[in-house]
């Protein structure tokens, strides 16, 4: 029987995540995760029958697992909502590993935009973090759904991360759906999966994770580095330097602390 030890994403340490990742057989067996995969595929087929469907993909662990089960259900069309403030090493990984059916929707936020919207840099307020999702991922999703005339859009959202995944609708083949102002059904087929289940698919089926997962706070990092939550701006820039210093070369012309840290690291 599965042994679930991980709590909400941000409450687990790097050591907690990596213990499960490298020793997955102690927590979830392949037979157990194969049952969940089959159940998810069957539910997806029922929910998408006679509906034009696509799914969201970002390269993160959940979206990689979602891509895996969606492909088994016969659906390959997907999108990545992004901006110009992604980690360069993350973006490079995405370009090498993106699904065949992926369409990118770039909302365009860049370093100059971030300088003009300084409150969005390393936000300490959860409401600002939520705003990031609204202006990048959620807006990009709406554009993609409208452009492609979708009936249903599928997400890798899970309740263990504190995400809203909708309510089960009254249909024999139904899953958990909700319909926001877009008027398009949003559906979350892996909503009840635990972190260990996600890692089990990745390990047993040899799915590749972006390199950022194996750096400091790797399982907490977002692909947009500027929304990383830190104790201070200076610490934020120091952390980003250790992950991908190319970001500071772009930031130094806008942010004095980024310039200061770059000089400390490379010129002293």
pLDDT at 251 over 80: yes
Place of tokens 């194969």: 34
Q: How far apart are CA 70 and CA 232, in angstroms?
A: 40
- Summarised one tens digit per residue, pLDDT across range 155-213 is 999 999 887 777 655 444 455 677 776 678 899 999 999 999 999 999 999 999 999 99
Q: How far apart are CA 227 and CA 212, in angstroms?
A: 15
What does DSSP say about strands 78-82 and 53-56: parallel, antiparallel, or unpaired? parallel
Give yes or no for a contact between 213 and 227, defined as CB atoms under 8 angstroms apart.
Answer: no
Could you tell me how many residues make up the chain?
A: 268
If you average pLDDT over residues 216-232, what whole number do you get? 88
Helix axis angle, 30-48 to 195-204, nearest 10°: 100
Place of tokens 């907490």: 220
What does DSSP say about strands 78-82 and 167-168: parallel, antiparallel, or unpaired? unpaired
Cα 223 off chain centre by: 7
* Confidence at residue 172, expressed as pLDDT on a 0 to 100 scale: 44
* Confidence at residue 125, expressed as pLDDT on a 0 to 100 scale: 87
What's the alpha-carbon Rg for the chain, to the nearest Å? 19
Domains along the chain with CATH numbers: 9-229 (3.40.50.620), 230-268 (no CATH)
Count Cβ atoms below 10 Å from residue 181 Cβ, excluding itself.
Answer: 6
pTM to 2 decimals? 0.91
Q: Of 155, 266, 14, nearest to 252 (Cα)?
A: 266
Structure tokens that stand for 223 in this block: 């692909």
């Amino acid at each position: 029987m599965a042994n679930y030890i991980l709590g909400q994403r941000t409450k687990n340490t790097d050591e907690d995540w990596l213990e499960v990742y490298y020793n997955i057989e102690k927590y979830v067996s392949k037979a157990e995760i194969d049952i969940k995969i089959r159940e998810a595929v069957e539910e997806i087929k029922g929910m998408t029958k006679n509906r034009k469907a696509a799914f969201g993909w970002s390269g993160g662990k959940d979206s990689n697992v979602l891509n895996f089960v969606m492909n088994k259900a016969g659906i390959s069309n997907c999108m990545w909502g992004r901006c110009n403030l992604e980690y360069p090493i993350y973006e490079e990984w995405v370009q090498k590993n993106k699904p065949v059916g992926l369409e990118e929707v770039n909302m365009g936020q860049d370093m100059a935009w971030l300088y003009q919207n300084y409150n969005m840099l390393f936000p300490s307020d959860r409401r600002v973090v939520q705003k990031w999702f609204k202006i990048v991922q959620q807006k990009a999703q709406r554009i993609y759904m409208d452009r492609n005339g979708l009936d249903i859009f599928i997400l890798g959202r899970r309740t263990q991360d504190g995400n809203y995944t909708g309510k089960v609708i009254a249909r024999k083949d139904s899953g958990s759906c909700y319909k926001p102002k877009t008027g398009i059904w949003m559906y979350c087929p892996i909503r009840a999966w635990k972190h260990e289940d996600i890692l089990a698919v990745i390990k047993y089926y040899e799915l590749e994770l972006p390199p950022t997962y194996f750096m400091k706070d790797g399982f907490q990092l977002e692909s947009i580095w500027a929304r990383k939550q830190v104790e201070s701006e200076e610490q934020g820039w120091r952390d980003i330097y250790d992950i991908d210093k190319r970001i500071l070369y772009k930031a130094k012309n806008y942010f004095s602390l980024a310039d200061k840290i770059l000089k400390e690291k490379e010129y002293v």
